[in-house]
Amino acid sequence: MVLLSLRGTVLSCGTGVLAAVLFDKDGTISHSEPMLEALAKARVFHCLELADLAQRDPEGHRFLADLLHRAYGLSDEGMLPSGTMAVASRDHNLVATATALVQAGLGWPEALAMAETVFARTDDLHGQGSESRPAPTPGLRPLLEALRDAGVPCAVISNDHVEGIESFLAAHGLGRFVQAIWSAEHQPRKPDPDAVHGLCRELGVAAEHCALIGDANSDLRMARAAGVPVVLGYRAGWRRPAELDASFPQLDHWQELSVTAATTPPGPPSMASGDSRPLGISSPID
Ligand SMILES: [Mg+2]
């Protein structure tokens, strides 16, 4: 019987069999902040250039810049982990951009067209095309290896597109560890709990036997609503630590998580101590 253990405490999992681990991507398995920050700043730059308010309406120019910074979650302290760039899909970010342009005085058709132009200009800065290429978060690979060795399938559930998820995994040799993905192209998307059920169907497992790890409350609450018994918050994916719902167990490094062979029947589906032995992982830092 395989279970996860967090800082030495076994996380009991429904009937006791850990069937799969579902990972969020951005801010969880992927250190995406430098890429997303560069992309957000490029979108602000092109919005301001196209809106062309600097000379004729300097106050409007500053207002629009401020709106866009807040819409994207940009700040001197780092990206907001719960902000639009960090959490939302490309099309939701596009609507957020158009909404900021409307608030700066444009009509909706013009705002939407301008946002689409800005995104077309900056799409190449997303993902592996960025000079600030996303990298796996430290210590991830040994955890994935331990899960593979224990026969536990892993999957990625993200609001990035299929191409973005697959190119990240391929760029870092992680594709071999991931049996399924659920992307922005899948329906329904995160944070609908049925996104979890859809991914579990692809894996051939029940959500009630899974673990899900994410860096946003929307991920964690989705998993709980879907009936996932082990739901963990990952806090180390951003310069500004994610402020996560304290009712979920949380970790700051993959080393805190280990794959464990439990030797006693599990308790109820919550954190519970149990007799267990480690299966050979405690991840060195990548
Ligand atoms: Mg995330």
Residue 80 tokens, joined: 């907001």
pLDDT: which is higher, 175 or 277: 175
Range scoring the smallest mean pLDDT among 145-149, 159-163, 229-233? 159-163
Domain ranges within the chain, ordered by starting residue: 2-31+135-278, 33-129
Range scoring the smallest mean pLDDT among 25-39, 246-260, 268-282? 268-282
pLDDT-derived band at 129 (thresholds 50, 70, 90) equals: confident
| Ligand 1 centroid distance, CA of 190 (Å) | 11
pTM (two decimals): 0.85
pLDDT-derived band at 264 (thresholds 50, 70, 90) equals: low
Task: Please measure the distance between the N-terminal and C-terminal CA atoms of the chain and give it in whole angstroms.
Answer: 28
| Ligand 1 centroid distance, CA of 284 (Å) | 23
Q: How far apart are CA 234 and CA 32, in angstroms?
A: 14
- Residue identified by tokens 């990206």 is 79
Residue 24's contacts (CB-CB under 8 Å, 6 or more residues apart) are 156, 157, 158, 212, 213, 214, 215, 216, 219, 234
| Ligand 1 centroid distance, CA of 21 (Å) | 15
Look at residue 251 in the predicted model and tell me its pLDDT. 97
| Ligand 1 centroid distance, CA of 110 (Å) | 31
| Ligand 1 centroid distance, CA of 30 (Å) | 8
Q: How far apart are CA 1 and CA 262, in angstroms?
A: 6
| Ligand 1 centroid distance, CA of 198 (Å) | 19
Enumerate the β-bridge partners of residue 180.
155
Fold of 2-31+135-278: Rossmann fold (3.40.50)
Look at residue 59 in the predicted model and tell me its pLDDT. 94
pLDDT digits (tens, 9 = 90+) for 100-118: 999 999 999 999 999 999 9
| Ligand 1 centroid distance, CA of 214 (Å) | 6
| Ligand 1 centroid distance, CA of 81 (Å) | 8
**SS3 (DSSP) at 189:** coil
pLDDT digits (tens, 9 = 90+) for 36-91: 999 999 999 999 999 999 999 999 999 999 999 999 999 999 999 889 998 888 99
pLDDT: which is higher, 241 or 142: 142
